[in-house]
Structures are given as structure tokens and as C-alpha cells.
């Protein structure tokens, strides 16, 4: 029986979905290995598998998701995706597969070699993508600088804190503490960082964000405060709810994962629930969220509304992407400003200008800006400022 024309596309999609049989895997990898134009894809898949194996020694359930992310990174890093006003592009794994296997040549570039040590000491050029970096203010007021390469251990009383690359680790305490001292983790513009809290919960901070938290949680609750944007994976602790305070909003959870976007220059504070359940309170208003819903609190009026959420859009930043879905150019420029540590002169933005697209956050800003242009709107980086030029 002849194979359908898109047979190998279907095989790769089944591979990403974790549905391939042993025979189908052999056939898929054989095809990729014998097809010269597809060999870079096979290399990317093998590298991801080997990296996960070397780090975790067993194949985790999320292996398919990681490889899917890697494939999407290869596409958006090396293939320019046109983004136009009033046109919304949804880049699913299936779409990624279709493009990769239907093109005669895969556009593939290796990472540039590391800069010499002296060059790395210089301030990054305008438009350079962000990296893992933060400042940690300890309970005694002293400040520790954190970056993507640092590995250090420091002591706070009887608490030993470790930094490993882009992550901060606190020892998981056996029970509540009667002595409460606070740390402040502040991520600058052009940065990101994540921390494992004393209860085992994990928090990722986006650029221009901060998290204030105790080095050991008291008995009655686990309360933290954020500014900016953070993604939470909360470890359930019976009888000890986890509370996030942000602006005039309070989010209470028992064990769940969710994203909070609460930048001062955004019109709303948005809580997007990925799994579990949370209660969002704003003044006298409160609402319970189910997975797949988002609560928006108007920062001016305090009004609270609940809508279905685009989970991929809400969490794209944590997996290394910008996901602009029917987004205003002003909102997009604010995201670019925080990640690339630049300013935006948005005086010339046309009314009702909306964009859609999926872009790798590791691209230099100079490559991102042309993707956001149309015949009527041009974007230009002058010094450290994005200029918007309307040609209408």
C-alpha cells in the first residue's frame, strides 16, 4: 500500500505527541538520517535528548514538550516569520512540523562562539537579548549579585542559600518557622531568574520584576509579594495556603501553577491559571478561577473580570518566546523594552494597530523589529530607543 504524501510529517507529529511505535521511530530516524536536508533537525532532536538524559538520567514525561520547544526555537531563530496587522499566526507543533518537512532546505545556524573574556565584561549593545541575572537583597540589607554563570553559597543565620547558574535554591524546611526574615529578589530590565522557595515551590521572574519572600514560612500561611511578572508552581501544603500579594490584588492557592502579570505600566493585573484552582481578590470583589481561565483586575478602578485564557500566550516568556496574539503595538513595545532594556517612543502608533505572531526571545532586537513592520508602520532602533514611524 503506497504511503500518503505527508507520511513523514504524520510520523514526526506522532513522535512529538509521544505516540510512535518502536518501528515508526526507527523509520522516522532512518528517514531523517538519510535525507541531507533534514539532518539538522535530527541533530537538534538528538542534542535535546542527550542533554535531558545527562541532566536527569531518566526520560521525563515532558521530553516531548521540550523537543517541541526546541523545534519551535529552530524555526523562529532561523526562519523569518512574517507578522502583519490583523493577521494572527498560531504556531503549534503541527504547524512547526509542516514547515520543517515541507521546505527543501532547513535554515539552520549554530550558536556563535563565546566572546573573549574581555569582551564579555563590556556592557551589552542595545538590542541584545536578556539573560539570567538578578540582585538578591538579604535580610541584613547586604546585596548579592546573581548571573547566569555564577555558582555560590551564602549563609543567612542558619539558612544556607545556593545559586546554581540561573536559579536560586533555599533548603526545603521540615515545618513552619517562628523566626521570619525576608529576602528580595529583583530582576532588572533585560533579565530573568528563578527561585526555589523554602516550601519547595518554584517561581520564575520575568524582566523588570521582583519577589519578596521569607527565608522560612510561618505556620499560618505562605505569603509572598511580587511586582512585574512571575510564573508560579506551588507545592501543596495542607493547612498552609500560599498567598501572592500584587498591587491591590491577592491570589490564594493551595497547590497549582499560574502566571501573574502586574507591571506598573500595564492597564490590568492579570492572573492566568494553568492547573489547579485559585481565588483572586481585589477589594470587595473576589472570584475563583478554573484551569484555563484568567482574572483581569483594572489597575485604575479595581474592577475584576474573568475570561477564558490563552495559556500559550501567558506562559510563552518562560519557554523563551514572545507570543503576540491580537496584541496592540504599544503592548508589544512594552514587552520588548523590558526584555531588551531599551526605551520605546510610541507617539506615532496608528489607532487600532494589532499584531499576531510567535517570536524567539533569543533573537537580537534588530532582527525582531522588521518582523513587526507593515507597509504603513516602520520600526527603527536609534541608540537605546525604538522609534515608530508611521508612513500613512
In our burial notation (b when 16+ CB lie closer than 10 A, e otherwise), range 302-328 reads eebebeebbbebbbbbbbbbbbbbebb
Q: What is the pLDDT of residues 178-236, one digit of tens each?
A: 677 899 999 999 999 999 999 999 999 999 999 999 998 888 889 999 999 999 999 98
Same domain, 237 and 348: no
Total count of domains within the chain: 3
Residue 2 lies inside a defined structural domain of this protein: no
Q: Is residue 1 part of a domain?
A: no
**Which whole number is the average pLDDT over 344-363?**
78
Choosing from 272, 287, 314, the residue where a domain stops is: 314
Secondary structure element (H or E) that encloses residue 356, with its range = strand 354-360
pTM check: above 0.85: no
* 91 and 188 assigned to the same domain: no
User: Does the pLDDT value for residue 378 go beyond 80?
Assistant: yes
Task: Check: CB of residue 343 under 8 Å from CB of residue 366.
Answer: no
Give pLDDT, residue 177: 61
Percentages (nearest 5) of helix, strand, coil residues in the chain: 25, 35, 40
Cell of 105: 532546505
* Residue 359 in this model has a pLDDT that exceeds 70: yes
Are both 368 and 229 inside the same structural domain? no
Q: How far is CA 118 from CA 126, 146, 148, in A?
A: 18, 19, 17
Average pLDDT score over residue span 32-36: 60
**Angstrom distance (rounded) from CA 211 to CA 244:** 10
Same domain, 162 and 264: yes
> Do 69 and 156 sit in the same domain of this protein?
no
Q: Which range among 79-88, 102-111, 206-215 shows the weakest confidence by mean pLDDT? A: 102-111
- Residue 300 and residue 233 in one domain: yes
198 plus 146 within the same structural domain: yes
The backbone torsions φ and ψ at residue 197, rounded to the nearest 5 degrees and listed phi first, read: -80, 170
b/e map 19-36, b = 16+ CB within 10 Å: ebeeeeeebbbebbeeee
Domain that holds residue 268: 117-314
Q: Cβ neighbours of residue 311 under 8 Å, at least 6 residues apart?
A: 272, 274, 292
pLDDT in tens, 135-194: 999 988 999 999 877 788 888 877 888 998 778 999 887 566 667 789 999 999 999 999
- The answer to whether residue 107 is domain-embedded is no
One domain for residues 174 and 286: yes
Which residues face 258 on adjacent strands? 232, 273
Is the predicted pLDDT of residue 336 greater than 50, yes or no? yes
Residue 203 forms beta bridges with which residues? 195, 232
Query: 308 and 325 share a domain?
Result: no
Query: pLDDT, tens digit, for every residue of 18-31?
Result: 676 767 766 776 67
Average pLDDT of the segment spanning 285-308: 94
Does 289 score more than 90 pLDDT? yes
Percent of the chain whose pLDDT exceeds 90: 39
Residue 130: its H or E element: none
Across 47-67, average pLDDT: 49
Strand order in the sheet with 385-390: 343-345, 385-390, 377-382
Rounded to whole angstroms, the Cα distance separating 76 from 83 reads: 12
Same domain, 51 and 92: yes
Closest among 196, 202, 134, 205 to 159, alpha carbons compared: 196
Q: Which residue has the higher pLDDT, 84 or 127?
A: 127
In a domain, 192, yes or no: yes
Give the model's pLDDT for residue 22: 63
pLDDT beyond 50 at 57: no
Q: Kindly state whether residues 324 and 298 are assigned to the same domain.
A: no
Banded model confidence at residue 267, pLDDT cuts 50, 70, 90:
very high
Cell of 111: 550558536
Residue 76 in domain: yes
Say what the pLDDT of residue 42 is.
Answer: 57
Amino acid at each position: 500500500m503506497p504511503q500518503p504524501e505527508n507520511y513523514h510529517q504524520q510520523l514526526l507529529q506522532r513522535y512529538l505527541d509521544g505516540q510512535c511505535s518502536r518501528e515508526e521511530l526507527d523509520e522516522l530516524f532512518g528517514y531523517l538520517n538519510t535525507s541531507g536536508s533534514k539532518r539538522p533537525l535530527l541533530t537538534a532532536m538528538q542534542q535535546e535528548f542527550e542533554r535531558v538524559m545527562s541532566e536527569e538520567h531518566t526520560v521525563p514525561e515532558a521530553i516531548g514538550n521540550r523537543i517541541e520547544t526546541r523545534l519551535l526555537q529552530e524555526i523562529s531563530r532561523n526562519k523569518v516569520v512574517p507578522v502583519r496587522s490583523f493577521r494572527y499566526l498560531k504556531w503549534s507543533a503541527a504547524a512547526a512540523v509542516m514547515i520543517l518537512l515541507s521546505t527543501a532546505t532547513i535554515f539552520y545556524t549554530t550558536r556563535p562562539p563565546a566572546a573573549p573574556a574581555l569582551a564579555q565584561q563590556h556592557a551589552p549593545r542595545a538590542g541584545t537579548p536578556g539573560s539570567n541575572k538578578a540582585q538578591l537583597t538579604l535580610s541584613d540589607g547586604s546585596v548579592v549579585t546573581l548571573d547566569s554563570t555564577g555558582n555560590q553559597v551564602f549563609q543567612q543565620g542558619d539558612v544556607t542559600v545556593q545559586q546554581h547558574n540561573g536559579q536560586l535554591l533555599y533548603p526545603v524546611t521540615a515545618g513552619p518557622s517562628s523566626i521570619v526574615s525576608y529576602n528580595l529578589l529583583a530582576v532588572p530590565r533585560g533579565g530573568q531568574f528563578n527561585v526555589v522557595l523554602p516550601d519547595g515551590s518554584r517561581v520564575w521572574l520575568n524582566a523588570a520584576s521582583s519577589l519578596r519572600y521569607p527565608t522560612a514560612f510561618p505556620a499560618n500561611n505562605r505569603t509572598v509579594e511580587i511586582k512585574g511578572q512571575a510564573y508560579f508552581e506551588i507545592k501543596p501544603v495542607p493547612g498552609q495556603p500560599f498567598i501572592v500579594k500584587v498591587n491591590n490584588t491577592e491570589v490564594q492557592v493551595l497547590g497549582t501553577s499560574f502566571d501573574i502579570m502586574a507591571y506598573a505600566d500595564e492597564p490590568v493585573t492579570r492572573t492566568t491559571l494553568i492547573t489547579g484552582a485559585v481565588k483572586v481578590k481585589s477589594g470587595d470583589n473576589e472570584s475563583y478561577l478554573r484551569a484555563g481561565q484568567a482574572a483581569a483586575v483594572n489597575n485604575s478602578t479595581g474592577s475584576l473580570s474573568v475570561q477564558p485564557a490563552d495559556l500559550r500566550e501567558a506562559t510563552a516568556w518562560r519557554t523563551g518566546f514572545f507570543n503576540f496574539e491580537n496584541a496592540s503595538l504599544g503592548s508589544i513595545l512594552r514587552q520588548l523594552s523590558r526584555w531588551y532594556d531599551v526605551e520605546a517612543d510610541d507617539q506615532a502608533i496608528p489607532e487600532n494597530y494589532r499584531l499576531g505572531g510567535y517570536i524567539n526571545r533569543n533573537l537580537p532586537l534588530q532582527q525582531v523589529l522588521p518582523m513587526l513592520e507593515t507597509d504603513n508602520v516602520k520600526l527603527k532602533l536609534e541608540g537605546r530607543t525604538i522609534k515608530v514611524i508611521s508612513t500613512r
